């Protein structure tokens, strides 16, 4: 099974989005820019883990010059190594198209970023973004990471201009009680999407954790966190679940981070996942899992 890695370079994104799981998580000293770049190069070439996909969280660059340089360097490093190797899919996640501006200002042209990324996931889109989306889709695929709140009109409109879209559930964090209001809104939205035409529905991918929770209830098999999916946090600690805010042991060296991946591979955080129970309305399931 090929492994998927998600790298979160910094806790200091310039944005302050409500419910940001990075800002809400445990925070220790961040790894240096040099170690982060080494980690990125390592993931592309190592034979220790069967790396099939790496996602870099390309957050809005903050004003702090040291952090800004680190984030720009991380993206630059990933794009460079992606250019000269094959076998690893490179994905980036961004908040909105504006996020890319400081990277472009630092000398990474939009076309360069897009043509060496296999997927760009964007959290916020509006009709004003349509011309730029058209340009980007000449070079790569675009995913819209959409979290439903009020109505689905805008989401439906923007579906035409992206290749796919994850329809996401708001998550409170691993082992935490879920927001039942958010689950209701999510389910209502799902019913509405169910009535759309097939070409629209084909682009919508249901939140991976919800899909895994449904699968677990049917088959008893949980999600791939800690098995083939790992999340590397800014302080070098590693979790399987992206929503595990409690964290593990920080690391400041490449050896330490690699060791943390091996330690995380011996855990199975899904055992503490509250989504199967809360989503199905059978919260008592949590006791069985815990």
Nearer to ligand SF4, 30 or 212 (CB): 212
120 lines the binding site for ligand SF4 (CB under 6 A): no
243 lines the binding site for ligand SF4 (CB under 6 A): yes
Contact residue for ligand SF4 among 25, 55, 225, 228 (CB under 6 A): 225
261 lines the binding site for ligand SF4 (CB under 6 A): no
Instruction: Specify burial of residue 185 (Cβ count, 10 A radius: 0-12, 13-18, 19+).
Output: middle
158 lines the binding site for ligand SF4 (CB under 6 A): no
Contact residue for ligand SF4 among 11, 124, 270, 279 (CB under 6 A): 270
Q: Are 121 and 84 in contact (CB under 8 A)?
A: no
Contact residue for ligand SF4 among 60, 129, 269, 278 (CB under 6 A): 269
Residues 82, 116: Cα–Cα separation, whole Å: 7
278 lines the binding site for ligand SF4 (CB under 6 A): no
Contact residue for ligand SF4 among 273, 277, 278, 279 (CB under 6 A): 273
DSSP 122-187: ES---GGGHHHHHHHTTTSEEEEEEE--S-SHHHHHHHTTSSEEEEEPP---TTSPP-HHHHHHHH
Binding range to ligand SF4, per CB under 6 A, among 1-9, 65-73, 107-115, 239-247: 239-247
Residues 109, 120: Cα–Cα separation, whole Å: 15
Residues 251, 270: Cα–Cα separation, whole Å: 23
264 lines the binding site for ligand SF4 (CB under 6 A): no
Q: Rounded to the nearest whole angstrom, what is the least distance from the CB of residue 209 to ligand SF4 in the complex? A: 3
Phi first, then psi, for residue 3 (nearest 5°) are: -100, 145
183 lines the binding site for ligand SF4 (CB under 6 A): no
105: which DSSP letter? H
233 lines the binding site for ligand SF4 (CB under 6 A): no
178 lines the binding site for ligand SF4 (CB under 6 A): no
The set of residues, in sequence order, having a beta carbon less than 8 Å from that of 65 and lying 6+ positions away, is none
Nearer to ligand SF4, 49 or 170 (CB): 170
* Contact positions vs ligand SF4 (CB under 6 A): 171, 174, 209, 212, 223, 225, 241-243, 269-270, 273, 275
């Amino acid at each position: 099974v090929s492994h998927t890695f998600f790298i979160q370079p910094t806790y200091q994104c310039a944005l302050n989005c409500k419910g940001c799981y990075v800002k809400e998580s445990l925070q220790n000293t961040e790894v240096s820019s040099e170690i982060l770049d080494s980690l990125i190069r390592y993931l592309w070439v190592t034979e220790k883990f069967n790396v099939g996909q790496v996602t870099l969280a390309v957050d809005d660059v903050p004003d702090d010059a040291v952090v800004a340089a680190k984030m720009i360097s991380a993206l630059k490093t990933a794009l460079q190594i992606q250019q000269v190797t094959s076998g690893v899919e490179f994905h980036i996640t961004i908040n909105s198209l504006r996020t890319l501006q400081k990277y472009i200002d630092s000398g990474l042209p939009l076309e360069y970023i897009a043509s060496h990324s296999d997927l760009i996931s964007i959290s916020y889109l509006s009709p004003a973004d349509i011309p730029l989306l058209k340009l980007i889709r000449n070079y790569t695929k675009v995913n819209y990471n959409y979290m439903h709140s009020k109505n689905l009109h805008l989401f439906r409109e923007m579906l035409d201009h992206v290749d796919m879209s994850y329809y996401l559930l708001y998550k409170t964090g691993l082992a935490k009680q879920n927001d039942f209001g958010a689950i209701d809104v999510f389910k209502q939205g799902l019913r509405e999407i169910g009535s759309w035409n097939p070409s629209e529905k084909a682009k919508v991918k249901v939140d991976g954790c919800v899909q895994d929770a449904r699968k677990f209830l049917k088959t008893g098999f949980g999600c791939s966190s800690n098995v083939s999916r790992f999340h590397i946090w800014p302080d070098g600690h590693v979790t399987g679940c992206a929503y595990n805010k409690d964290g593990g042991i920080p690391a400041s060296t490449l050896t330490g981070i690699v060791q943390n991946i091996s330690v995380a591979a011996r855990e199975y955080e899904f055992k503490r996942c509250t989504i199967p129970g809360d989503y199905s309305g059978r919260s008592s399931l949590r006791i069985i899992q815990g």
